[in-house]
Each structure stands twice: as structure tokens, then as C-alpha cells.
Amino acid sequence: MKRLLSGIKPTGDLTLGNYIGALKHFNEMQKEYETFVFVADLHALTIYNDPKVLHKKIRDLIAVYLACGLDPKYTTLFIQSENVYHANLSWVFECNTYMGEAARMTQFKEKSKNNENVTVGLFTYPMLMASDILLYDADVVPVGIDQKQHVELARNIAERFNNKYGETFKIPEPVIPKTGAKIYDLQDPTKKMSKSDDNNKGCIILLEDPEIARKKIMSAVTDSEMSIKFDPEHKPGVSNLLTIYSSLKNISIQDAEKEFEGSNYGTFKKRVADVVVELLNNLQSKYKEVIEGDTIDKILDESNKKVREIAKSKVEEVFTKVGVGR
């Protein structure tokens, strides 16, 4: 069985973008692959987080994974920092990545622009991400479009290492959803819907009051026309809402367009809001069931053993190949 691996950073609040671009696909793919999904908590440290808040967000993310349908029968859920080998391998990758390559990462360029508090960790972050992926010999890595470049760097790092030291790593494939690889902000539909965004009105948060989410959809920016057509360049607001609708209903954009032929924007938004509210209600009721009690710890304790074993043998192989240790 081929392996799938992906993760999410426990910073900010999880958004509808995270759901449509990532979580939904982990859930749909888990039976087809041997699936590993983790909380990228070491990645969260590139910026300062209140430690208490970070602890809570890590647990919340595991609960959201379970609430989205990830089933420990098929998916190994774990926390990155609880497997020390991620950071070990990352160092080896830092020493096998060129400054120029790392400096070309779009996310680094965007996040470091006009920012004096950029940490070295933000720069080396993609090497840690490569280590997350390559430690487990992942075949596929489902991510939204914003992470594609990082997965491509992981491929380059793996190829370079294999050429230098002999066959060691699988070359992973990024899997980008056909619909919803980038969900946009509802108030500024040229910008990614982002969990670290201050403008909350443009962002649906998975654990927020569903009625607040409904209001956000109802006040989403559209345009002055009256046609419900998918045209991201000229109609970014309407196209974003069509993407959200078709992804949550599992139908094509064309079928969604047909469904709304002749409807006005008010009716259209109400129908989009209904599917979003339904998703949030379902997700939140499952979240409440798992966040209390000891299910989460039991699952993590079990998977910890498995992921450490896999990672340990890979890191030992790498250390031997590069020549460190006895």
C-alpha cells in the first residue's frame, strides 16, 4: 500500500481553507493509502506563541482531525515534536540545501518582506518539512497550492541525497486538489483565506459559532453583475463561493453553475452559507465528543511507538550514509 503523509501547523485558528484544501482530502484518501497525519508543532515555533495557547491548539487540532473523519484504524495521527527524529533529519537537510534554493521559497519571501523579526527557523522551515515527508517514505503529500513549492523542494532534496549517498529516500508527489486548492478571503477574494489573518470577517473559522460563519458568507464581497459564473479573474468573489459550494457538495464547478442559473446573489449566498453551517455543525459536535476524555492520549501513545520506530531506522541509515557516529 502506498503511503500518504501530511500535516497542519497548530497556529491561529483552523479555517475553511484548511478544510477544503487539506483536511477533506486526508479523510477521503485515508482508506486508499497507509496514512500519516500529524500536528506540525515544531513549525509553529518560527513565530512566538503563548506556550499555553500552543498546547491547547495542538490538542484542538488532533480533535479536529478526528472530527473531520480521520480514523485511527486507517490513519496514524501524531505530534511532530514527540518524534525527535524530525529535527535530527532536518539538520542533515539544512546541510544539503543551498542558500539560493531556500531563499527562493515564496512563503519565506512573503513572510520576511518588511519584517525585522524573521527567525532563522522561518528560513530553514522547508527543510524541516522535507524531513517530515522523507522520514516516512511518503508517496503522496496532499496539500493546498501554497505548500506545493515546499513539497517540490523536498523532492529536490531527496534526489540530491540519493545521488550523493545512494538510494535512501522515496521521491514524493504533491497532490493538489482540482477544486479548492486555494480558498480566498471573503472580503478580499484576491488574498488567500488565512488563519493568521487579522480580518476575521473574511475568514471562516472551523470552530466558530456557525451563525457567525453564516453572516460572513452573507456579507462576502461579490460584484455588481448578477451572474453566477466561474471566472476567477473578473469575478473572484463569486468564483470563490462557487468553489466552496462545489467542494463541500462534491460536485463540479459546472454543475454548481447550472444549479444557480437565474438565481440572485442573495439566494446563492444563502445556499453556500447553508452547506458551510452544516459542515461546521457536524464538525463541532464531533469535536466536542473527543476533546474531553482520554481518547486523544490513547491514540497518540499508540501511534508514537510506530512513528518513532519508522523514523529511527531512517535516521540511523542516513547518519551511517553521511558518515557521522562510530
Looking at the Cβ atoms of 147 and 222, the one nearer to ligand TYM is 147
Name the residue with the smallest CB distance to ligand TYM.
21
Q: Which amino acids are annotated catalytic?
A: 111, 192, 195
With beta carbons less than 8 A apart as the criterion, state whether 124 and 46 touch: no
- The minimum distance between CB 249 and ligand TYM, in angstroms, equals 17
- The minimum distance between CB 263 and ligand TYM, in angstroms, equals 25
Looking at the Cβ atoms of 34 and 263, the one nearer to ligand TYM is 34
* Interface contacts to ligand TYM, rule CB under 6 A: 5-9, 17-18, 20-22, 40, 43, 129, 132-133, 141, 143-144, 146-147, 181-183, 192-193
With beta carbons less than 8 A apart as the criterion, state whether 44 and 54 touch: yes
Tally of CB atoms within 10 A around 94 = 18
Looking at the Cβ atoms of 127 and 228, the one nearer to ligand TYM is 127
- The minimum distance between CB 226 and ligand TYM, in angstroms, equals 27
With beta carbons less than 8 A apart as the criterion, state whether 244 and 279 touch: no
Q: Are strands 173-175 and 140-142 parallel, antiparallel or unpaired?
A: parallel
- The minimum distance between CB 22 and ligand TYM, in angstroms, equals 4
Q: Name, in order, each residue with C-beta under 8 angstroms of 166's C-beta and a sequence gap of 6 or more.
A: 321
With beta carbons less than 8 A apart as the criterion, state whether 131 and 315 touch: no
The CA distance from 12 to 6, in Å, is 18
Looking at the Cβ atoms of 192 and 314, the one nearer to ligand TYM is 192
Q: Name, in order, each residue with C-beta under 8 angstroms of 181's C-beta and a sequence gap of 6 or more.
A: 21, 144, 145
Looking at the Cβ atoms of 145 and 227, the one nearer to ligand TYM is 145
Copy the grid coordinates of residue 87.
Answer: 529535527
User: What are the backbone dihedrals phi and psi of residue 3, each rounded to the nearest 5 degrees, phi first?
Assistant: -105, 140
- The minimum distance between CB 142 and ligand TYM, in angstroms, equals 7
